Structure 1
Amino acid sequence: MNMVHDVLDATSADDIVVRWASEPWEIEQAHAIRRDVFCIEQGIFVDDDRDAIDDNAQLLVAVCGADSATPYVVGTVRIHASAEDTGCWHGSRLAVRRDFRRQGRIGATLIMLAVSSAHALGCRTFLATVQAQNAPLFRRLHWRTLEELVSFGREHHRMQADLARYPPCHTPFTGFVIHQRRAA
């Protein structure tokens, strides 16, 4: 079974570190994953999925081989505080490379750090508009559907995280480690 731990644990080249993006290469690769998922794979956007939210959002990344000579981003999500309500935060654009989906709890750990780091910054409500096929994952992670809607021509759920299930994370730039299975 894969385990998620604080990043202070020893990591190996196969492990994935989920953290706030800080390096230009992390940001560039995160945007490339979003383009692959939302523009090419799903066809929601034509050339790029970036919008005005990106100007004030914090990108989170899942980095494979973070301690190696050639680390690379395998997943991303963005978070931002609401302009109208400083206690309300939003998550969006959760994307994981196709070849890393369903392995190592990448999406779940990105969600965990997104909510926990916002919680540490004073978040009282954390919301996301989630594609309908991903709503079951969010429910397993202690989110509830507030409403069902259509956005960008697709069914979505507007969902809210149960903050009691997400203790504040005060070290988002170091984040969490997903230990991958080791060959015996």
Structure 2
Amino acid sequence: MLFDPFPEYKPRDFVFKIARTPQELQGYWNLRRDVFCEEQGVFVEHDRDEVDDHAIPIICATLVAGMVDEVVGTVRIDERQPRLWYGSRLCVHKAHRRLTEMSPGVSVRNHQPVHRGFGALGAGLIYKAVSTANAIGCDRFLANVQEQNARFFQRLHWLKLEEKVLHGRVHAHMEAELGHYPPAELVA
């Protein structure tokens, strides 16, 4: 009993924010590489492209003692025409995809709803992405979503417009219903 292994610690406290510090940005790039290159094999060495030159990087990070610890989710947003925004490179660390509970403070701290059940961090990143663009000035928010994730987005008030093949994979071209994503607070 004394020497029984302790269960692995899994943080339940998160912050959704624009990545600004060198640590946050490094975690953002590392996670994207891990998911899109290593895990999915969509890209070879890195997934960076010309969109990254002007995109806003958004992260979900674990909090330990109130401080950012590890980046466990990413998405980027960019304005491609006046008031037309896109979200892309959404990913969540494999160990956090099946998260079903978050601390009660997550909603208050992030000024956004907390989604329960599988996909909670992905839903939080989507909410932060669209509501951030909405705060900056957005009339339409679009994304090309890997086909296996289209139903998840539809549950979050997205409309499927058409199918496209990108990077050798079928994607759903989708649009967010902006009324479900009020403008975010831009301080975090």
Q: What TM-score comes out, normalization by structure 2 length?
A: 0.81
> Does 1:88 pair with 2:80?
no
Q: C-alpha separation between the residues in 1 aligned to 2:186 and 2:144?
A: 22
Q: Is the 8 Å Cα contact of residues 57 and 78 (structure 1) preserved in structure 2?
A: yes
Greater RCO, CA 8 A, separation 6+: 1
SS at match of 1:121: helix
| Cα distance, 1:158–1:66 mapped onto 2, change above 3 Å | farther
Q: C-alpha separation between the residues in 2 aligned to 1:173 and 1:53?
A: 23
Q: C-alpha separation between the residues in 2 aligned to 1:172 and 1:69?
A: 18
Q: What TM-score comes out, normalization by structure 1 length?
A: 0.83
Q: Which moved more, 1:121-130 or 1:58-67?
A: 58-67
- After superposition, give the CA deviation of every residue in 1:113-155 in whole Å (9 maximum; x if it has no partner): 1000100111000000000011111000000111111110001
| Cα distance, 1:148–1:70 mapped onto 2, change above 3 Å | closer
Counterpart of 1:119?
A: 134
| Cα distance, 1:128–1:70 mapped onto 2, change above 3 Å | closer
User: What are the equivalent positions in structure 2 for 1:33-182 lying under 5 Å apart?
Assistant: 33-65=31-63, 67-68=65-66, 71-82=69-80, 85-104=81-100, 105-169=120-184, 171-174=185-188
- After superposition, give the CA deviation of every residue in 1:66-118 in whole Å (9 maximum; x if it has no partner): 54566110000000111xx2110000000110000021510000000100010
Q: Per-residue deviation at 1:23?
A: 0.7
Over the matched positions of the two proteins, sequence identity in percent amounts to: 47
Selected match of 1:17 from 15, 18, 21? 15
Q: Is the 8 Å Cα contact of residues 135 and 186 (structure 2) preserved in structure 1?
A: no
| Cα distance, 1:69–1:141 mapped onto 2, change above 3 Å | closer
- After superposition, give the CA deviation of every residue in 1:138-173 in whole Å (9 maximum; x if it has no partner): 00000011111111000100000000111111x234
Q: Is the 8 Å Cα contact of residues 19 and 59 (structure 2) preserved in structure 1?
A: yes
Unmatched runs of 5 consecutive residues or more in structure 1: 1-12, 175-184
Q: C-alpha separation between the residues in 2 aligned to 1:70 and 1:114?
A: 19
Unmatched runs of 5 consecutive residues or more in structure 2: 1-10, 101-119
